[in-house]
Chains A and B, each alone.
Chain A
Amino acid sequence: MKVGRASADAAARLASRQLVVVTGKGGVGKSAVAAVLGRMLHRVGRRVLVLELDPRESLHQMLGVAPSGGEVLEVEPGLFLQNLQPRKVLDDYVREHLRVGPLARRVLASPVYRHFAAGAPGLKELAVLGHALSMVEAGWMKHRVRVDVVVLDAPATGHGASLLAAPGLAAEVIEHGPFGRLAAELSAFVSDPARCGIVVVTTAEEMPADEALDLAAMLEARLHRVPELLVVNGVYPPCPDGPVERDDQGPLALWRRRRAVNDRELGRLRAAWRGRLAELPLLPLERGPALVEALRARLAQTLTGAAVEGTP
């Protein structure tokens, strides 16, 4: 496939990361985009784990498989899905590091540990990021499966940024011991743009666009990170020209108005966004593998400038 170097960069860069964090305002389609990115990176030959944090599992529907139930589920050779609950990661850590069974059980059952695990700030984030890191590099925990890249369907905006900020904050407070070392290691991991890429998802509507721009500003100010890609989801198709009658309530009028809003917001986003921007269209397909495949093809096309690939 012959493509100009510059246009291949965006896709190739994403494919070279160890962690891709997908965040954005609630309701913009983060999960769909996480599935799309997972499929896209898998298609170019990477071993991928798509990680979901929502206690109510739903990513599996996008990938056309049964719920993971918390385990690492093979979707296809080289593509994996896991719904991860931070509490489980912490408990597994305790079991792994306190090899004496009765002792581990006592810790896990103690109210002190339970309160601590449930509420201690930063602990869950460390657990999640630690798990992601250990899937791409051996170390903290040993897993049966190793992958090249983890695509993380992160919590919505504010919480997504907290996820990335957590290791740095924890490293300031926990200076010693295994968690201190983990915090420092994770802080280095997420701050390195070569290893950890941030993808922000939005729709071309005012509030999500506001929030995407605010998030980018916050990431830059707080973490000195620039998101590498903005995915603008659910864009209405371009419209035939013509005026919109004020009282026209027909489908054409709604389409024109929605597209006009999309155009306005896309303009705003393009003007302000520093990284790469990709549009994904609104398609008449239910959430599921067919939609993900159609979007994957579009995203790959946008990022590489190549012709849309056929299905294998």
Chain B
Amino acid sequence: MSRPRGSLLVVVGSGGVGKTTLAAALGLLSARAGAHTLVMTFDPSHRLKDALGVGEDARGREVEVPLVASGKLEASLLDTRRTFDDLVARYAPDEQAARRILSNRFYAHLSGSLAGVLEYMAVERLFEVAAGACYDRVVLDTPPTRQALDFLEAPERILGFLDSGALRIALKPWFDERGHLRPTARLGLIGRNVEAFLDRIVGLELLRDMAEFFQAFGPLFDGFRRRATEVRALLRSPRTLFVLVSGPGEERVADTLFFARRLREGGHRLGPLVVNRVHPLVDPAAAAAAGEGGVLLSWLGERDHRGTAALRSLLSPGEAPIELPLLPDQPTGIDALGELADLLDRLLGGLPA
């Protein structure tokens, strides 16, 4: 097959459906097809980390996975310990500006407890990788979330909060340019009421810290916003394909369809729908012979297949989901991943373009 030019595969799905393992297998498939591939992972298990060779030294940088393949496979682990501090240090106009932010009390609280930081860091890392443009294909595992698409929305929420324009202006009336409290503040009726409320609730000290933070952060904000915008464009580009992974069973069908629709409505290209960890259908005679476990496995097989059938009936023939069987244990070790990659290859008819 021809080598892709800078294509991106994004593996999305709720927590616990097997995204990380599938992302690794897709990466392997891609390398075997001759592409220089990077797999970016989030929460690989200890054994998968070993298999891919993404131990501690792969935090924040790419490590080559030793393989026999015509292409090359690298893997990286998003470093959850890398915080906003690194981003601030990197993008601040100078050291003094960085220090002003990093020593701000409100910032210290913010960077430690901001929900969605992991998703945000993923976006920043993706930007760096895409800008570097040295891979034929990137396979992006997404952070484990209850909602399959939190990955897309969390960065926007953070940026919304950091939208220093709105908040800087709001806090402006009390504080001068250097964050000192004005001796008297003449505020309009509306301004006084909203900010007075915040003052009463969280205190002037905190508001001053916040004003100072937003002022200090101002020069960086545009860069953050610009990068996030570029990544959003990348996620909607024709070179990007989303692989939606779901668990088996009828109760997940509604959610899966919901996420598929949301992805499409958001302007993203949706590729194969994968129903993962499907119990096999069991021959009734074999089930009877196997006692309690046979009854259980028979029931599970029925349940899982009803689920996929329900999903299939609600999609057009061209969108038919593929089913991956439940493996007794998660595949780890390059050989086991290779078998999964072979299976994906057969079921998908090659890597989705």
Chain A residues at the B interface, C-beta cutoff of 8 Å? 25-28, 54-56, 61, 94, 98, 103, 106-107, 110-113, 115-116, 118-122, 124, 155-159, 162, 165-166, 169-170, 172-180, 205-208, 210-211, 236-237, 239-240, 249-252, 254-255, 257-261, 282-284, 286-287
Cα–Cα distance between A110 and B15 once the two chains are bound (Å): 35
Q: A25-B15, A261-B328 are in contact. Are A178 and B166 (CB under 8 A)?
A: no
Cα separation A255 to B290 with both chains bound (whole Å): 9
Task: Identify which of B110, B201, B251, B282 contacts A121 (C-beta below 8 A).
Answer: B110
Contacts of B200 in A (CB 8 A): 177-178
Instruction: Verify A122–B109 contact, CB threshold 8 A.
Output: yes
Shortest distance between the CB of A84 and any CB in chain B (Å): 14
Number of A-B residue pairs, CB cutoff 8 Å, is 185
The answer to whether B15 touches A26, judged by C-beta atoms less than 8 angstroms apart, is yes
In the complex, which residues of chain B have a beta carbon less than 8 angstroms from the beta carbon of A206?
45-47, 329-330
Q: A172-B109, A252-B290 are in contact. Are A103 and B202 (CB under 8 A)?
A: no
Shortest CB distance A266–B (Å)? 14
Taking a contact as CB atoms under 8 Å apart, the answer to whether B294 and A177 are in contact is no
Assess whether B67 is interfacial by the CB under 8 Å rule. Answer: no
Residue B291 lies at the interface, judged by CB distance under 8 Å to chain A: yes
The answer, yes or no, to whether B287 is at the interface (CB within 8 Å) is: yes
Q: In the bound complex, how far is the Cα of B59 from the Cα of A137, in angstroms?
A: 45
Q: Given the known A-B contacts A124-B115, A208-B16, are A169 and B109 also in contact in the complex, defined by CB atoms under 8 Å? A: yes
Give the residues from 296 to 331 in chain B that come closer than 8 angstroms, CB to CB, to chain A. Answer: 296-301, 303, 326, 328-330
Distance of A174 Cα from B109 Cα, bound (Å) = 10
**Binary contact track B159-171/A, C-beta < 8 Å → 1, others 0:** 0111100110010
Task: Known pairs A28-B16, A112-B195, A176-B206; list 12 more (Cβ under 8 Å).
Answer: A94-B197, A107-B194, A111-B170, A119-B161, A119-B162, A156-B145, A162-B115, A251-B282, A252-B289, A254-B297, A255-B296, A287-B251
Residues of B within 8 Å of A170, CB to CB, are: 109, 113
User: Please, which residue of chain A has its CB at the minimum distance from the CB of B296?
Assistant: A284
Could you show 7 A-B contacts with beta carbons less than 8 Å apart? A26-B145, A112-B166, A124-B115, A156-B15, A162-B115, A179-B202, A251-B294
Partner of B280, one of A106, A118, A158, A254: A254
A289 CB to nearest B CB, Å: 14
**At the interface, is chain B mostly helix, strand, loop or mixed?**
helix
Q: Does B295 lie within 8 Å of A284, measured CB to CB?
A: yes
Do residues B247 and A111 form an inter-chain contact, with CB atoms below 8 A?
A: no
A54 contacts across to B, CB distance below 8 A: 146-147
B205 touches A112 (CB 8 A): no
Which DSSP category, helix, strand, loop or mixed, fits chain A's interface? Answer: helix
Count of residues in B whose CB is under 8 Å from the partner chain = 74
- Per a CB cutoff under 8 Å, which of A28, A121, A156, A255 touches B115? A121
Contact: B290 with A115, CB < 8 Å?
A: no
Chain A positions within 8 Å of B251 at CB level = 61, 286-287
- CB pair A173–B290 under 8 Å, yes or no, is no
- Check if B223 is an interface residue, CB within 8 A of chain A: no
Query: Does B349 count as interface, using CB distance less than 8 angstroms?
Result: no
Cα A210 to Cα B43 with chains together (Å):
10
Q: How far is the CB of B160 from chain A (nearest CB, A)?
A: 6
The answer to whether B161 touches A118, judged by C-beta atoms less than 8 angstroms apart, is yes
B266 within 8 A of A: no
Complexed CA–CA distance, A118 and B110 (Å): 13
Among B161, B199, B255, B290, contact of A120 (Cβ-Cβ < 8 Å) = B161
For B114, list chain A residues within 8 Å (CB). 119, 121
Q: Contact: A173 with B109, CB < 8 Å?
A: yes
- Which residues from chain B contact A286 at a C-beta distance below 8 Å? 251, 303
**B43, B110, B194, B201: which contacts A177 (Cβ < 8 A)?**
B201
